[in-house]
Chain A
Amino acid sequence: MRLDWELARRGYRRYAAYPGATYAGLFTNVFFGFLLAYILLAVYERADVIGGYDVRDAIAYVWLAQGLLSVVASFGPSWIELAERVRTGDVATDLQRPVDLQRALFAQDVGRAGYQLLYRAAPQFLLGALLFEVTIPAEPVRWLAFAASVSLAIVVSFALRFIVNLTSFWLLDYRGTYLMALVASHVLSGLIVPLSFFPGTIGDVVRALPFAAMLQAPIDIYVGAPLGGSTALVLLLQGTWAVLLLAAGRALLAAGTRKLVLQGG
């Protein structure tokens, strides 16, 4: 437990050490926030509600998405850092340590997420809320559910990234899977438009995927338009993905470790 905390702190500090990069990232997110907000405002001139979102929901979505983007690491080095260590063989030293690799990386990731929640997500959303009209939930229950959902989103995101990284054990050039995963998460996590904009069944299917669990799900809960009308369902879905993906990650790690050992690492 103590170790987890230490690792989380390390993950936090790693990002806190580069305030310049944080500001730059924040700037980018804010810039895109404006762009998307304007686009959606123009969209809502011709429609009142789309996929359960009204205009204030949609603007809230924009600022939340841009803010949470960094928290769930939609982009960034964490998609391939481990993969690179696998490729160079450095991972062997990691595996020799008496610490569970997945757990250790998870702890660090939580630290990272914490930092970015404080210094990217929060300022981002506050700014958006000040400058535009956004939905602010009145019921404390929704806020709680939102918090829970964000936490689960972080877990799902980590589990996904872990798996994508591990493909490096088997693929010489992991950049292919990385690119595909990046694109998939880009589009399917609801980065540009809320997934609820997707028509009918497509929209439902897409929202059930793990990518949606990373970003769209918490926002859906926040604005009060969860998949299937049920917040509990969404949380359950996220939780299920989290468990499944973490388990898959462990299995892959075990398989990868075996392979490494057999090949004389």
Chain B
Amino acid sequence: MYVRLVGSRVRSQLQYRASAALQIFGTTLIALLDLVTIVVIFDNVPELDGWTLQEVGLLYGIASISFALTDLVIGHLDRLPQMIRDGSFDQVLVRPLPSLLQVVASDFALRRLGKAVQGLGVLVWALTAVEVDWTAGRAAMIPLAIVSGAVIYAGVWVALATVAFWIVDAIEFVNAFTYGGNFLSQYPVSIFGRWLRGLVVFVIPIAFVAYFPALYVLDKSDGLGLPEWFRFASPLVAAVVALGARLVWGNAVRRYRSAGG
């Protein structure tokens, strides 16, 4: 159903082939500038808490692709506050489809592919440049991390977006966590203060998007004393987060329907 809903959107965007290509190119470029920060940092110091540029590149690559995938599929969730404000969410409730599906499928921006392209580029470079004792397990961890990561981001995003149902102006709030979260997962979690580490490991588990899988692939110790099996827990965390998000969403919609919005 999702495919059908966005299908026509994609088709109409593809009609302007040149424009679409340009947009993807543009966003790739913009995303590349993100890298400037990291490059500049490593131009000044050789390591960040024991992580080299290549290793940070691995983090960055995984986090970026995951984020881009999530953004691509459910990015339009950021329209939710607007939909509630102008009453088009009511229209959603009158259709015989689940509400979350409708909101998420309300548009599809091809241009978001730009970030995925850039992430892929960085990941490929990092994989070739980094020192890893490659095994089948380690190789498999990369795509696994990307997919689990995308689901984790998605779940967190959906859960946070429900804030729109009861606070009108606070969409920025949510952005802090989504874009901030992505930014954060590009750096080794070990550099953060204790409270923040606790937050991203146990509460909003985005440490499982790139950090823990990377620890496994790179065979690094994280010096934090966290259990070894965390490194494999990404899929589990993804499942839990997805379930949680569904519950939160369902609850939020139920409240909206009782309160009258």
A residues lining the B interface (CB < 8 Å):
18, 20-21, 23-25, 27-28, 31-32, 34-35, 38-39, 41-43, 45-47, 50-51, 176, 179, 183, 186-187, 192-193, 197-199
Q: Are A42 and B191 in contact (CB under 8 A)?
A: yes
Q: A28-B172, A28-B175, A42-B191 are in contact. List 5 more A-B contacts (CB 8 A).
A: A28-B180, A38-B196, A46-B45, A179-B30, A197-B44
B26's closest neighbor in chain A, by CB? A179
Q: Are B191 and A38 in contact (CB under 8 A)?
A: yes
Q: Chain A residues near B41 (CB, 8 Å)?
A: 39, 43, 193, 197
| Contact status of A31 and B169, CB under 8 A, knowing A193-B41, A197-B44 | no
Q: Which of A20, A34, A35, A199 contacts B169 (CB 8 A)?
A: A20
Q: Does B125 contact A (CB under 8 A)?
A: no
Q: Does B136 contact A (CB under 8 A)?
A: no
Q: Are A41 and B191 in contact (CB under 8 A)?
A: yes
B170's closest neighbor in chain A, by CB? A24
CB distance from B190 to the nearest CB of A (A): 8
A-B CB contact pairs (8 Å), 20 listed: A18-B169, A20-B169, A24-B172, A28-B175, A31-B180, A32-B180, A34-B192, A35-B180, A35-B183, A35-B192, A42-B49, A43-B44, A43-B45, A45-B49, A46-B47, A176-B26, A179-B26, A187-B37, A193-B40, A199-B40
Q: Are B26 and A28 in contact (CB under 8 A)?
A: no
CB distance from B117 to the nearest CB of A (A): 16
Instruction: Digitize B167-202: 1 where CB-to-A-CB distance is under 8 Å, 0 elsewhere.
Output: 111111101110010011001000111001000000
A45 and B177 CA atoms in complex are apart in Å by 27
Q: Are B184 and A35 in contact (CB under 8 A)?
A: yes
Q: Does B48 contact A (CB under 8 A)?
A: yes
| Contact status of A197 and B169, CB under 8 A, knowing A38-B192, A42-B191 | no
Q: Which of B49, B169, B176, B184 contacts A21 (CB 8 A)?
A: B169
A165 and B65 CA atoms in complex are apart in Å by 33
CB distance from A18 to the nearest CB of B (A): 6
Q: Chain B residues near A192 (CB, 8 Å)?
A: 37
CB distance from A247 to the nearest CB of B (A): 29
Q: Does B259 contact A (CB under 8 A)?
A: no
Q: Does B226 contact A (CB under 8 A)?
A: no
Q: Are A21 and B40 in contact (CB under 8 A)?
A: no
Q: Are B48 and A198 in contact (CB under 8 A)?
A: no
Q: Chain B residues near A183 (CB, 8 Å)?
A: 30, 33
| Contact status of A47 and B36, CB under 8 A, knowing A27-B173, A27-B176 | no
Q: Does B86 contact A (CB under 8 A)?
A: no
A191 and B36 CA atoms in complex are apart in Å by 12
| Contact status of A42 and B196, CB under 8 A, knowing A20-B170, A32-B176, A35-B180 | no
Q: Chain A residues near B196 (CB, 8 Å)?
A: 34-35, 38
Q: Which of B44, B167, B176 contacts A47 (CB 8 A)?
A: B44
Q: Are B183 and A199 in contact (CB under 8 A)?
A: no
A18 and B168 CA atoms in complex are apart in Å by 10
CB distance from A195 to the nearest CB of B (A): 9
Q: Chain B residues near A197 (CB, 8 Å)?
A: 40-41, 43-44
A43 and B48 CA atoms in complex are apart in Å by 6
